[in-house]
Amino acid sequence: MERDESGQTAPSETSASRPATAARFADWVRRQARNLAPLATLVLMVTFFAVTTDSFLNLVNLRNILAQVATLAVVATGVTFVLLCGEIDLSIAAVAMMTGVITSVLFGVVGLPQPIAIAGGLAAASIFGLVNALATMHIGLPSFVATLASMQIASGLAQYITRGNILYVIPPSLKYLGGAYIGARDPWRLPVVVLAGAATLALGHVVLRYTRFGRLVYMTGSNREAARLSGINTRRIVGTCLTICAASAGAAGMLNTGRLGSAQSYGLDDMLLDGVSAVVLGGTSLFGGEGGIKNTIIGLLIFGVLNNGLNQLQLDIFVRLWLRGVILLVALVVNVYALRARGAARTRA
């Protein structure tokens, strides 16, 4: 405990005499390191693609980028909650597919009215979240293992229900949310799904930053034992986050059916890796307590710009796949280094 005793604390103890504003400014800069590195990555990528391609930097394409990450934004919101707790959810893609299928079955096969079918889909997704929460917080399985199992179950259920078939009857409101546009002419014709994604992110941001619950998520993620020893019901906080994540995965799955105009038990496998890496690229810590929706937004944009830009480059599809992986890796490495620098700065303070 005495690590922070003499040498290192000497400066901070005397900082009482230093103006508090200076300390606060230094603190602000350190906090921003988490945000600045991803932002720099984003600016770098935009600049690169703007220079190397003709088709990248125009309003229609930029709008397309937003449309391409909109569904991902919904699930990334939920993933942000889970990562802030220092947990992980590997079942998101499977739960998304399963929810799309269940909603379509409830609507098209069972014949329930739209709102009930949609509510039923969300309930099914939330049940998976609750099961994840129970397995993680009460039984004590690592979330990595618990959600790996739910991933299997959810994806298996989706296949069991559809028997490999594609369901074409889906609620019209989902078609609207996932596939319709508002506004008259290009570039101002905005896909509704972009608004849905933005609204989810905004909601997530408000919950995390401006509510008591959000504060407790950050505090629990920062030091779960300390939160527990402050009388906080950490099981409930983390469990709620896992449930929020599963529900957001369900919502993303439904939006995806709406976008495609059909529901099936396959085709969303990328969502897991994409969702988690978008959040991490934004600078949210995998160990909890640091980051947030603002970071996730930047991460989503990095992700969208990278995918879209690589397409514009008209590279060989087989080059694109591995190149994307390499670039993601580099961006993550840059992130980790930026965070380490921040950590070092804090220790010196």
Partner 1 sequence: MTPEPFLRLRGGRKRFGGVLALDGVDFDLGPGEVHGVVGENGAGKSTLMKLLAGAYSDYDGELSVGGEPRRFASPADAQAAGIGMVYQELTAFSHLTVAENIFGRHPPTRRGFVSWRATNRIAGQHLSELGLDIDVTSRMGSLPVGTQQLVEIARVIFSGARWIILDEPTSALSPPETKRLFHFMTTLKAQGRGLVFISHFLDDVLEISDRVTVLKNSRRVATLAAGEADKHRLVALMIGADSSSLNLSYESSPTSSAGARGAAAVAVAESAPEVLRVERLSKRGAFTDISLSLGQGEVLGCFAFMGAGQTTLGRCLFGADRADAGTVVLGGSVLRLTSTTRARAAGIAFVPEDRRSALMMSKQIFKNITVAHLARILPWWLREPRELAIADTQMKSVGVRPHDPHLPVGALSGGNQQKVVLAKWLTETPRVLILNEPTRGMDVGAKEEVLGVVRRLRAQGVAIFLISTEPETVLSLADRALVMRKGRFTAELAGAALTKANLMKTA
- Give the binding site for partner 1 (CB under 8 A): 1-16, 20, 23-24, 27, 209-216, 218-219, 222-223, 225-233, 289-290, 346, 348-349
Q: 200, 174, 181: which is closest to 67 by C-alpha?
A: 181
Q: Give min distance, CB of 208 to partner 1, in A.
A: 10
Distance CA(87)–CA(221), nearest Å, equals 9
Q: Could you say which DSSP state residue 167 is in? A: B
The answer to whether residues 41 and 302 touch, using CB atoms and an 8 Å cutoff, is yes
Cβ-based nearer residue to partner 1, 228 or 320 = 228
Q: Judged by CB, which is closer to partner 1: 13, or 316?
A: 13
Closest contact distance (angstroms) between CB of 285 and partner 1 is: 10
Q: Could you tell me the smallest distance in angstroms from the CB atom of residue 206 to partner 1?
A: 9
Q: Which is nearer to partner 1, 189 or 215 (CB)?
A: 215
What minimum distance in Å lies between the beta carbon of 33 and partner 1? 13
| Residue 62 or 349 with smaller CB distance to partner 1 | 349
Q: Which residue type, as a one-letter code, is found at position 255?
A: L
Query: What is the distance between the alpha carbons of residues 42 and 298, in angstroms, rounded to a whole number?
Result: 7
For 278-311, the DSSP string reads: HHHHTT--TTSSS--HHHHHHHHHHHHHHHHHHH
Is the Cβ–Cβ distance between 218 and 289 less than 8 Å? yes
156: Cβ contacts below 8 Å, ≥ 6 apart: none
2 or 316: CB nearest partner 1: 2
Contact 177, 118 (CB under 8 A): no
The number of beta carbons lying within 10 Å of the beta carbon of residue 163 is 7
Shorter beta-carbon distance to partner 1: residue 64 or 233? 233
Closest contact distance (angstroms) between CB of 200 and partner 1 is 19
Q: How far is the CB of 18 from partner 1 (least distance, A)?
A: 8
